[in-house]
Amino acid sequence: MKKIDKKNLSFEMREKILRLAAGTGTKYPHIGSCLSCIDLIIETQFFQMKKEDKFILSKGHASLSLYVVLNKKGKISDKELSTYFKDGGLFGVHPPPTFPDDIPLATGSLGHGLSFSCGIAKADQLMKKKGRKIFCLISDGECNEGSVWEAALFASQHKLKNLVVIIDKNGFQGIDATKNVLGDAATVEKWRSFGFNVVECDGHNFSELEKSFKRILSQNNNKPGIIIANTLRGKGFKTIEGKMESNYFSLDKENLEKFIKELKD
């Protein structure tokens, strides 16, 4: 099998995200969040997951990142992906459970994905389905939801060592910096206090991500694991990189090629 160049793959996925977003003519594709988590999804889906594992994108507003990765993996065809955000299309801004093997549930009401993931992990535990991992990607702003902490307590209490959580910690929520809303809830100390094995890393450094997964997946103490990945909203798209308004930035086809060039520079 040909070795995948992660840097080139990251660029390819970012370009596809911008092209699909520009086709919607709206402010809704949440480009900033898609670009902050795309490297996390690439590392998880291409390099960490086994065939039997499950992936839950709890921050459903970043669904476009998941769609382009599943398309690259051959799970979603080009024709199917072309229906994104179109009347009668298969894929909306938030992911419907259209392809249950790869998108097992609809997400986007923030805080729910981790609870679902815990339920799947617990069911596997009860059925003695050994070896399968449940990966769940959440956001740092999502950690303001009470249901996240109920799920965290559940995961710890039930020793869900088959659960791996990844936090896309880009420092922003919809309309403000996370620290200005309810403070930073995505900290090593907080998650460790809830009984998790915790690793923190640069979420855009594939070498660090790989090492972080290796550390979490090699733990053998019956604790759930979490990777706190520090990311940059709008990563790679210089016009919106690191800016609060990146989540509602509207792309237009007229300026698309100029924006694509920013990814290359």
**CA separation for the pair 225, 162 (Å, rounded):** 8
1 in a structural domain:
no
Assess contact for 220 and 55: CB atoms under 8 A.
no
Average the pLDDT over 223-246 and give the result. Answer: 92
CA 146 to chain centroid: 20
**CA separation for the pair 258, 265 (Å, rounded):** 11
18 in a structural domain:
yes
Output the DSSP codes for 161-184. Answer: TTEEEEEEE-SB-SSSBHHHHT--
260 in a structural domain:
yes
pLDDT tens string 9-40: 999 999 999 999 988 876 667 899 999 999 99
Assess contact for 40 and 167: CB atoms under 8 A.
no
Average the pLDDT over 74-82 and give the result. Answer: 95
Q: What value does the mean pLDDT of the chain take?
A: 93
The structure's pTM equals 0.95
Task: Report the CATH number that the domain containing residue 211 is assigned in CATH.
Answer: 3.40.50.970
Confidence of residue 2 (pLDDT cuts 50, 70, 90): low
Confidence of residue 1 (pLDDT cuts 50, 70, 90): very low
Neighbours of 198 (CB within 10 A): 23
CA-only gyration radius of the chain, Å: 17
Question: Which residues span the domain enclosing 76?
Answer: 6-264
Quote the number of domains for the chain: 1
Residue 147's alpha-carbon distances to 59, 112, 118, 142, 161, in angstroms, are 14, 7, 11, 10, 20
Q: Any idea which residue has 């919106």 for tokens?
A: 240
Strand order in the sheet with 225-230: 54-57, 134-139, 163-169, 225-230, 197-202
Residues 6 or more apart from 241 whose CB is under 8 A from it? 232, 233, 234, 235
Confidence of residue 149 (pLDDT cuts 50, 70, 90): very high
195 in a structural domain:
yes
- DSSP assignment letter at 79: H
Task: Name beta bridge partners: 57.
Answer: 137
